Amino acid sequence: MLAEPNHHDGRYVLPIRWLILIATAATLICGWKNAQGEETPEAAANERLARTVLYLSSDELEGRGLGSKGLDLAADYIAGQFREIGLKTDLYDGAPFQKFTAPAASPHGTKLPIAPGNNDVNGKPSNADRSKADANNMPPPATEPNRIAAKNVVAVLEGEGPHADEAIVIGAHYDHLGRGEPGSLEPDSHEIHHGADDNASGVAAMLEIARQLAAREKKLPRQVVFIAFTGEERGLYGSAHYVKDPLAPLDKTIAMLNLDMVGRMTDDKLIVYGTGTASEWGDLLTRLNEKHDFQLTRHPEGYGPSDHSSFYAKRIPVLFFFTGTHKDYHRPSDTFDKINVDGMRRVAELVADAAVAIAETDARPTYKDIGGPSQFAKSGDRPYFGSIPDFSQDQPGYALMGVSKGGPAEAAGIQGGDIILRLGDYPIANLEDFDTALRKFKAGDRITVLVKRGSDEMKFAVTLEPPRQ
Domain range enclosing 388: 374-463
Same domain assignment for residues 47 and 119: yes
Mean pLDDT of the chain: 84
**68 domain residue, yes or no:** yes
Looking at the structure, do residues 348 and 388 belong to the same domain, yes or no?
A: no
Same domain (yes/no): 430, 334 = no
Same structural domain for residues 311 and 439?
no
Domain end (from 330, 360, 390): 360
Question: Are residue 325 and residue 457 in the same domain, yes or no?
Answer: no
**Do 250 and 292 share a domain, yes or no?**
yes
CATH value at residue 34: 3.40.630.10
Q: Is residue 367 part of a domain?
A: no
pLDDT at residue 314 in the model? 92
pLDDT at 305: 85
Is residue 6 assigned to a domain? no
Sequence length of the chain is: 469
Does residue 271 lie within any of the structural domains?
A: yes
Kindly state whether residues 257 and 390 are assigned to the same domain.
Answer: no
Of 308, 337, 360, the residue at which a domain comes to its end is: 360
**Is 15 inside any structural domain?**
no
In a domain, 441, yes or no: yes
Q: Is residue 14 in some structural domain?
A: no
Q: Say whether both 310 and 407 belong to one domain.
A: no
Strand partners, 172: 228
pLDDT of the residue at 280: 98
**Residue pair 263/231 in contact by the 8 Å Cβ criterion:** no
What's the pLDDT at 254?
Answer: 98
CATH number of the domain that residue 411 is part of = 2.30.42.10
Is residue 170 included in any domain, yes or no? Answer: yes
Give the end of a domain, one of 333, 360, 387: 360
Q: How many structural domains does the chain have?
A: 2
Q: Please check whether residues 293 and 324 belong to one and the same domain.
A: yes
Low-confidence ranges of the chain (pLDDT < 50): 1-16, 18-20, 23, 26, 107-142, 374-379
Q: Are residues 404 and 340 in the same domain?
A: no
Question: Do 323 and 395 lie in a common domain?
Answer: no
Whether residue 346 is found in the same domain as residue 422: no
What global pTM score does this model have? 0.79
